[in-house]
Every structure is written in C-alpha cells, then in structure tokens.
Amino acid sequence: MNIVPKKTGFSKPIPALVSTNVKHPILRRDLSVLVLDSEVDVLDEVAALLRRRDVTVHLATSTHEAAELLQDHPDIGVVLADITMLEGEGLHIAADILNGVGPAIELVLICSSFAHDERSPAMMSQMGLLQEPLKLRDVAISVGRGLARAASRRQLPGSMSLSAFDRH
C-alpha cells in the first residue's frame, strides 16, 4: 500500500519572521524624543528619520517651546539639541536634564564642528555629541542609545542594564 503524504497549503518555504540582519537600531516606542533646533530643515529631516522607526517626535525651534514640551510630555526620554540653542535660557533646560530634575532624560548635542578638537568624531559621538553636517545613521544610533539609557534609568519594563547596553 502506497501512502502519499498530504500536501500542505505552502508550496514555498516560509520565510523567517524575525531577521537576524537588522539594518536599523530598534528604538523604544514607549519613550519619545524632543528635537530642538532653530533650522527647520534639520528638524524635518531628523523627525522623518525617527518617525520611520516608529518613534514619537516633538519639535521645538526655541528653548521656550522646548521647556513647555518637556513639562507637557513626561514620556520624553531624549532631547536632541543644537548646542547653540542651549546658551542663555537654554542652559536651564540642559542643567535640569543633567541634574536629574524630573524624569530621566538623556541629552544628545549637535555641534557645528570638532575641527579644533583633537578627539575623533566617533569618540565625540559616543559622548553624545554629533557633528554637523549630521549623518542620519549617527543620529539614529545616538538617539537609540539615549532611549535605552533613559529606559534603564526609569526602570521601564524590557529595558536592559546600562552596562549590558554599553558593551555593544
């Protein structure tokens, strides 16, 4: 007696649902990002990059707007700001973030140039400083690290320890 196996509904192999080759860092969706810059083009480009990765983005062109957004949105985990925006009144925002006033927020700064600085741009990026012109990959990585650190400091579910994140 010959038994023919039943045909399944799939004639082709089923592709894996999760790829091991991830092109973009996965960013947390429970925290948002505030981008502070006076240049609307920079705001639009960075916002589009982060929104493609399902990150909620708040935009501010002044320190006054940024202060209001920080007060109204406690889910902000990273502030990405042009360093020139944090002069004068903006120093209060930076001081509050760095001194831990309110929820844990990471600060990533955009600088005009490191030409006078002897350290490498890669080292400056790891310190949370990004050089203009911005490379979108560096922005995504820095913001991703910042979100992971903010989640860990806030002890959110699913966050990894800071030491485990920084080893990679």
Q: Which residue has the higher pLDDT, 120 or 97?
A: 97
pTM over 0.85: no
Parallel, antiparallel or unpaired: strands 106-111 and 76-82: parallel
CATH for 32-167 is 3.40.50.2300
In the predicted model, what is the mean pLDDT of residues 64-71? 93
**What pLDDT, on a 0 to 100 scale, did the predictor assign at position 20?**
40
CB 149 within 8 A of CB 106: yes
Give per-residue pLDDT as tens, 137-163: 888 888 988 998 899 888 888 776 655
24 versus 61: the higher-pLDDT residue is: 61
**56: buried, middle or exposed (CB in 10 Å: 19+, 13-18, 0-12)?**
middle
* 1-46 residue pLDDT tens: 555 444 444 444 444 443 344 444 556 778 999 999 999 998 999 9
Residue entry with tokens 């589009």: 48
Mean pLDDT in residue range 107-133: 66
